[in-house]
Every structure is written in C-alpha cells, then in structure tokens.
Amino acid sequence: MISIQNFHFAYRRNTVFEDVTATMKPGHIYGILGRNGTGKSTLLYNIAGLLYPTGGKIEVMGFSPHKRESSFLQDIFIIPEEFYLPDIPVEKFVQYYSPFYPKFDKKVFLEHVQGFEIPVDSTLQAMSYGQKKKVLISFGIATNVSVLLMDEPTNGLDIISKSQLKRIIAGAIDENKCILVSSHQVKDLENLIDEVIIINATKIILKEGLENVGKKLSFKISFDEDDLEDALYSESLLRGNAIVSRNTIGDESGIDLELLYKATMADPLKMQTVLVD
C-alpha cells in the first residue's frame, strides 16, 4: 500500500532522511516514534504529497503522491499537528468538505463528535484547540479513506479523550486500510499500534511488528541485581530496575513500548539483531 524506496529528503543543507526503504501494508496501525525534529511529520507529509522527496521515490496505493491526482487525494487524509479551520459552523464544515471524500460517512462523524462532547452548534473558531482537533479527527475517521495519517493526534487532548481516541482508531482499521500515527509521547500509542517505526538520525532504526517483539523480548521490573547481567537494556528506578532482556520462556511477553523505544535509541543494532534472530 505504501512503498518507500531509497528515500532522501532535505531542507536545503539539513538532511532529514537518507536512503530510507520501507513498506506499510493494509490492515495495520503503524506507530511512528522519535524525538521532536527527527522527521516524523516530514515523512507523513511526503506520503501525503505535501512535500516531495529530494531523492528516491514514494508510492501510495500505486500513486506518486507528489502528482496529487484526484483519485489519490480522495482516498488519503492527513490530520496535521498544526492546522487552520475556517470560522464556520461544524455542519457547514461537513457540507463543504465531505464531497471531496466519496466514502464519507456522516453518521460516523456525528457519533464521534458527540462522543467527544463537541458543541456542534458552535463555530470552529470559537472552539479550543483540543475541540477543533477532535472535530478534525472525527472528520478524518469518517472519510473512510484507505490511508489515514495522524501527526501527533493526542496533543491538546485530555486523558479521557486520549483513551477515546484509541478506541476510535482501533475501530476504524480494517483489512483494506492503513493508519500511520506519529507521536513523541510513546505511552499514547500503547495498546493501539501493531507495528512500531522508530526514527533517529535520518534513518528508520527499527520497524517491527509488536507480535514479534513480544516473542523475542521480555520487559519487567526486577529487584534482583543478577538480572542485570543478561539485560539488553536497563534503567534504574527508585526501587529496582526496568529491564529489557531476551524472552527465553517462549510465552509472548507484555510490551513496554517506552522501554522498547529507549532500548532501541540506546543501541539500534543490538535490538535489530535480537529481533531478527
């Protein structure tokens, strides 16, 4: 569905991506993790055709995004971190913009905005940033596009809204859709994504299904200093140590996404080697 081949991107002299190759398949929710400024938004914008590769190529659903063909645009939607919405009522927003998306489902939209407790009789500019983001998220889900891109969607949302957003995204995926969610708040993606993509220093340093991560790695809090000897990664806590180690038991381990991220950032090659074995 999404094919990235030898992808390069730079802002003048600032190289953001260099020779990146990856594929994203339908039926999956991908979580893109990385520090601020590492290129998460840039990657999504290139996939959406809002930015153009400076080298290599990207194909999405068989289209070249930068050509911005109508058949492509009506089947992809991006929810950016920063956005502007016109000063019109919610109903007018739906009336004006939904025709661009043939699979738009107004019933789904209304269900989500009501679930988010959005005052639909209010104009968009009278809403808070969080309320506007909830409207945009609800609209994006209701488009029923094949590729949905969400850039830092939990920014501006409270704890309850974040939990509701997870349920909405999980309910939106099917075998024909691909959802990419970027975040620097690792915890916000736990129990949502099924494949993780970690970006650092112009590269994708890890791209792995969480099912395989659970089979290969074990995550635990240990009070036994002897466990540190076999740890792939550890960090000291107020009491005990948080440890990532090889899963020698065979049963699938519960995954601590934050620990996985930290371990990968500390030693990408080690993590890649363990997960491929």
How much is the pLDDT for 37? 85
Q: Compute the distance between CA of residue 40 and CA of residue 152 in angstroms, rounded to an integer.
A: 9
* Token representation of residue 113: 């905005």
Q: Is the pLDDT of residue 223 over 90?
A: no
Q: In the chain, which ranges are E strands? A: 2-11, 14-24, 28-33, 55-60, 76-79, 147-151, 178-183, 195-200, 203-209, 217-222, 231-236, 241-246
pLDDT band at 226 (very low <50, low <70, confident <90, very high): confident
CATH number among 3.90.1170.50, 3.40.50.300, 3.40.605.10, 3.40.50.1820, domain 2-201: 3.40.50.300
Query: How much of the chain exceeds pLDDT 70, in percent?
Result: 99
What pTM value is reported for the model?
0.93
How much is the pLDDT for 6? 96
**Arithmetic mean of pLDDT, 218-235:** 88
Q: Compute the distance between CA of residue 230 and CA of residue 165 in angstroms, rounded to an integer.
A: 38
pLDDT band at 113 (very low <50, low <70, confident <90, very high): very high
Condensed to tens digits (0 to 9), the pLDDT of residues 178-190 reads: 999 999 888 889 8
Q: Quick check: 223 and 57 in contact, CB under 8 A?
A: no
How much is the pLDDT for 20? 95
Condensed to tens digits (0 to 9), the pLDDT of residues 95-112 reads: 999 999 999 999 999 999
How much is the pLDDT for 151? 95
Condensed to tens digits (0 to 9), the pLDDT of residues 23-78 reads: 999 999 999 999 888 899 999 999 999 999 999 999 999 999 999 999 999 999 99
Q: Quick check: 75 and 143 in contact, CB under 8 A?
A: no
Per-domain boundaries in the chain? 2-201, 211-276
**Arithmetic mean of pLDDT, 233-250:** 88
